[in-house]
Structure 1
Amino acid sequence: MIHKYLTEESYWAQGRRLEQTETAIANSVCFGAYEDGRQAAFARVVTDHATFAYLGDVFVLPEFQGRGIGKLLMLAIIDHPELQGLRRWILATRDAHSLYEQFGFHSLKFPERWMERPAPDAY
């Protein structure tokens, strides 16, 4: 379900291969939300467990949206014992700024200090 959503519904992971999704999950702290035994949401955190965390692949399936599941998922992530005391969290979003702002995220204070190195043919 996770790979299917990411590659068919998300705007950020179109074309990602199954092996890439499996490797990403295996090397992340993963979170899920469930309703009646069915997975409703997913997120993962890439971290060094000391200073830094990247929050990615966050989604709530459309049929579960509007029920506060995204907020509950974010609470579980932010409160997770392995993720306390980190100096910086980052994420990228096109359309969920208001959700993340509720948990202390904001636009980069100094965007000129940040750079990226995208792989042109990754997916």
Structure 2
Amino acid sequence: MEIKENGFIFSDDRNLVDAKAVHQYLSISSYWAKDIPFDLVKRSIENSLCFGIYKGQQQVGFARWITDKATFAYLCDVYVLDEFRGLGLSKKLMSLMLFHPDLQGLRRYQLATLDAHGLYEQFGFKAIEHPERQMGIVFKDLYSKAKDAN
């Protein structure tokens, strides 16, 4: 699936993803994957439904779904480079991702965000009902600690 609009290309073609650019953003600029090793980023791309935003040959945005394509999808690693924010790219990307044929009829779509609630609420996301039922194992600063050990 590919959409061209206003000089940008929005695509779910994993072969177009610039893993080095994604790694650079995630490992340096993100709050959720600081210091993540390149091999983990590459493996996460290989095992997810990925979407990119491109301007010419430059990757300017990225997002991926971790999904079984039947019942559940978790949205993560969403970003648009600072110099391309405010152009509606995130909204266009969200529209493309939510209406993707592989993600129709799922029981649950989930994500976590520190500061983009307003964006996701426009697409029907809301705070989890009964958060006390949600559980997880979280290793905080895992990548930074591994980097410091080396």
Class of the TM-score when normalised by the shorter of the 2 chains = over 0.9
Q: Residue 17 of structure 1 is aligned with which of 7, 28, 37?
A: 37
Equivalent residue for 1:108, pick from 128, 137, 149: 128
TM-score for the superposition, normalised by structure 1:
0.96
1:84 alignment counterpart: 104
Please give the TM-score of this superposition, normalised by the length of structure 2: 0.79
Q: How far has the Cα of 1:65 moved from its partner?
A: 0.2
Number of the residue aligned with 1:94: 114
Aligned-pair identity (%): 52
Aligned length: 123
Gaps of 5+ in 2: 1-20, 144-150
Moved more, 83-92 or 32-41: 32-41
1:33-112 pair list within 5 angstroms? 33-112=53-132
What secondary structure does 1:104 align onto? coil
Q: Which amino acid aligns with 1:101?
A: E
Cα offset, 1:39, TM superposition:
1.6
Higher Rg: 2
Give deviations 1:16-52, integer Å, cap 9, x for gaps: 1111101111000000112234221100000011000
Shift of 1:120: 5.0
Specify which of 14, 22, 46 is matched with residue 2 of structure 1.
Answer: 22
For the residues of structure 2 that align with 1:120 and 1:11, how far apart are their CA atoms? 11
Unaligned runs of 5+ in 1: none
Query: What CA RMSD, in Å, does the superposition of the two structures yield over aligned residues?
Result: 1.1
Tell me the amino acid that sits aligned with residue 67 of structure 1: L
